[in-house]
Structure 1
Amino acid sequence: MMNNFIYAGTSAAIDKLWEKLIGWYEAIILKLPNMIVSVLVLIFFYIIAKYGSKFLHKLLSKRIKSSSIVDMITKLFYAVVIMIGFFIALGILELDKALTSILAGAGVVALAIGLALQGTLNNTFSGVLLSFLPRIRIDDYIETADHSGFVQEISLRNVILRRPDNHIVVMPNSLFIDEPFVNYSLTPRSRITVSCGVGYESNLREVKEMVLNVIKENFPQNEGEGIEFYWLEFGDSSINFMTRFYVDYIKKSQMYSQQSEAIMLIKEVFDANDINIPFPIRTLQMDTPVSVQNKTE
């Protein structure tokens, strides 16, 4: 009797399992067209992601010199296309509940990651934005409130500057988005200033004409530019002036070179015309006479 009970239980379990397998088989047969379509959709989006990312990589490489930024954007494009294909395939299979659960879970995970990596993501998106901005490029000479140098690399997190003394400065990308900076490489010509002073006995109109002529001969000005000359003040030992004019320079060393040349030219024309460039002289007056004694051995 016990054997009959065991046999009946085993037979019922096998029958239920068989019915379940038949149900699955029938469901697979019914869903087979949808499964084939979903597989074809996945293959289609895989091809788009693969070749689209290669095309995007070539396109971005022409505009962005930072390889890390280009790789990040192409990988993001690849992942987004694959995810779109995956969600469409789930919709074709009528797995709406699974799709909703996945989206909800992805939203929670994305929120948690965003809160945990807020600073990192800020620098990353700032790096992407900087890569597309025409106001900063590789090899540009820029100057911030604290540093200046040539842009060597724009990575996902940092802008790397090479200072004129060859030291490397690593700055977070967000600083270039939130704070002002000067890019000397954007304008091929800029105005420089040279200051000097002449003695009180000098003819100021003649001095002005000398300076304007020597600058005009050696630093030609383009249309819309010009040479400016201003007397500034009566100094302690000289009457001081400044002259401003445009030169070609996109980095500080070129500016210093042009200023140095202008100073030498002004000094030469002053020497040729006996124009005195005075220097401060201090006279010490002592109430008590000082005697100087020569000691001989």
Structure 2
Amino acid sequence: MNDKLINAWNKMYEKLESWVDAIVVNLPNILIAIFVFIVVIIASKYISKLIRKILGKSSLQRSMKNLIAKITSALVIIFGLFLILGILNLDKALNTILAGAGVAGLAVGLALQGALANTYSGIILSYIKNLKFGDWIETNDYEGEVIDIDLRAVTIKQVDNNLVYIPNKLVVDNPIKNYSTTAQSRVILECGVGYESDLRFVEKLTKETIVTNFKAVQKKDDVLFLWREFGDSAINYELRFWINSISALEVAKAKSETIMLMKEAYDKNNINIPFPIRTLDFPNGLGLVKKEEVVA
């Protein structure tokens, strides 16, 4: 029994001794590999910054510039890893890794279908010229300013300053309403006035109020005023005009300002904006039945 333990200890000692010898023999290569690894990491960061600086003068979108910089940085790191394996004389291990990469890649691809779909969609979004940083968009029932587009999601900042992260695949697969594609946005307001109002005067007053208070509106013809219907309690109209803004928030502010201006103008000219009311018309033959007072 003791002989077996001694033999096992000797074999383990010999194995450890061979490992130590291998480490000592390959110590210069290990130090060189560590140095190369540090240099590669630093170089990847500087090359990424250099690519961003070079592409900064191009007409590419910022999201596309970031994508190219990240891909370049990753390629530098991968090249460094291959170089390190060569320094450590691990060429055979490299061949084994490459041989198994196909099978591993297939397994990873099946497991990460959603993530890969978002990555591919992020690349597509980086090429779309009508979607860029700073645009005010509406998609997937969310509305806000685009502040980031990466390989995973599109980040938008809503009116309440909250951030929404929408997966790239959903943005690609669903409609996008971009308020920033034109230099102007349209304000649409619906209102109504009483049946006793002079409709032509109401139209004239409304247009004059808009022309006076909004710089983008140069003349009355720039204001679209349409009478829509005879409502239950008012004659309803629709008002449309353009403002110099591409933000949905500015459109909301302009609409709010218009409501206040119209209320002030109508009050000064005794134009009534009626409450919802209902008129009851009793036939002439219908009388009111009074209860007779019974005298005891």
Give the structure-1-normalised TM-score. Answer: 0.64
Kept in 2: contact 1:144–1:182 (CA 8 A) = yes
Which ranges of structure 2 fall in alignment gaps of 5 or more residues? 1-39, 84-93, 292-296
1:69-117, Cα deviation, whole Å (9 max, x unpaired): 45532234436878999xxxxxxxxxxxxx9998765444433332222
Relative to 1, partners in 2 of residues 1:175 and 1:267: Cα closer, same or farther, differing over 3 Å? same
Question: Partner of 2:187 in structure 1?
Answer: 192
Distance 1:53 1:164 in 2: 33
Distance 1:173 1:240 in 2: 42
**1:271 aligned residue (267, 272, 285):** 267
Alignment correspondent of 1:72: 70
CA distance in 2: counterparts of 1:154 and 1:290, whole angstroms:
76
Structure 1: which 5+ runs fail to align?
A: 1-45, 86-98, 292-297
**Aligned residue type for 1:206:** F
Structure 1 residues 201 and 103, CA gap change in structure 2 (3 angstroms): same
How many residues are paired up? 235
Local SS of the residue matching 2:180:
helix
- Counterpart of 1:261 in structure 2 is 257
Deviation sequence 1:20-75 (CA, Å, 0-9, x none): xxxxxxxxxxxxxxxxxxxxxxxxxx9xx979766434334664259974553223
Q: Which residue of 2 aligns with 1:111?
A: 106
Give me the whole-angstrom Cα distance separating, in 2, the residues matched to 1:149 and 1:157: 18
The CA deviation string for residues 216-242 of structure 1, in whole angstroms up to 9 with x for no partner, is 22223379x921110000011111101
**Distance 1:222-1:126 versus aligned 2 partners, 3 A rule:** farther
Give the structure 2 partner of residue 243 of structure 1: 239
Contact 2:49 2:69 in 1 (8 A): no
The whole-number CA distance in structure 2 between the counterparts of 1:274 and 1:135 is 47
Q: Give the percent of matched residue pairs that are identical in Structure 1 and Structure 2.
A: 44
Aligned CA distance change for structure 1 residues 78 and 222 (closer, same or farther; 3 Å): farther
Instruction: Name the residue aligned to 1:234.
Output: 230
Deviations 1:119-168 (A, max 9, x none): 11111122233234333333332222322223233232122233222333
RMSD: 3.9
Alignment check: 8 A CA contact 2:55 2:65 kept: no
Counterpart-to-counterpart distance in 2, 1:124 and 1:108: 21
Would the aligned equivalents of 1:199 and 1:238 in 2 still touch at CA under 8 Å? yes
1:145 equivalent to 2:140? Answer yes
Q: In the alignment, which residue of structure 2 is the partner of 1:281? A: 277
Are the counterparts in 2 of residues 160 and 170 from structure 1 also a CA contact under 8 Å? Answer: yes
Amino acid at match of 2:238: M
Give the Cα–Cα distance (whole angstroms) in 1 for the partners of residues 112 and 276 of structure 2.
60
Closer, same or farther in 2 for the Cα pair 1:73/1:119, shift >3 Å? same
Question: What amino acid maps onto 1:119 in structure 2?
Answer: G
Residues 176-215 of structure 1 mapped to structure 2, 5 A cutoff:
176-215=171-210
Letter in 1 for 2:151: L
**Structure 1 CA distance for aligned equivalents of residues 72 and 272 of structure 2:** 67
SS of residue in 1 equivalent to 2:155:
strand
Q: Where do 1:74-113 residues align within 5 Å?
A: 74-78=72-76, 105-113=100-108
Aligned positions of 1:37-56 closer than 5 A: 55-56=50-51
Cα 1:244–1:84 change in 2 (3 A) is: farther
| Segment drifting more, 275-284 vs 164-173 | 275-284
Change in CA separation of 1:274 and 1:177 when aligned onto 2, cut-off 3 Å = same
* The one of 148, 156, 159 aligned to 1:161: 156
**Are residues 102 and 165 of structure 1, via their aligned partners in 2, closer, same or farther at CA, if it must alter by over 3 Å?**
closer
C-alpha separation in 1, matches of 2:70 and 2:290: 80
Q: 1:111 to 1:247 in 2, by over 3 A?
A: same
Query: Partner residue of 1:94?
Result: none
Larger radius of gyration: 1
Matched position secondary structure for 2:239 = strand
- Scaled by the length of structure 2, what TM-score is found? 0.64
User: Following TM superposition, by how much is the alpha carbon of 1:208 offset from its aligned partner in structure 2, in angstroms?
Assistant: 1.2
Which AA in structure 2 matches 1:78? V
- In structure 2, the CA distance between the partners of 1:165 and 1:205, relative to structure 1 (3 Å rule), is same
Kept after mapping to 1: 8 A contact 2:207/2:223: yes
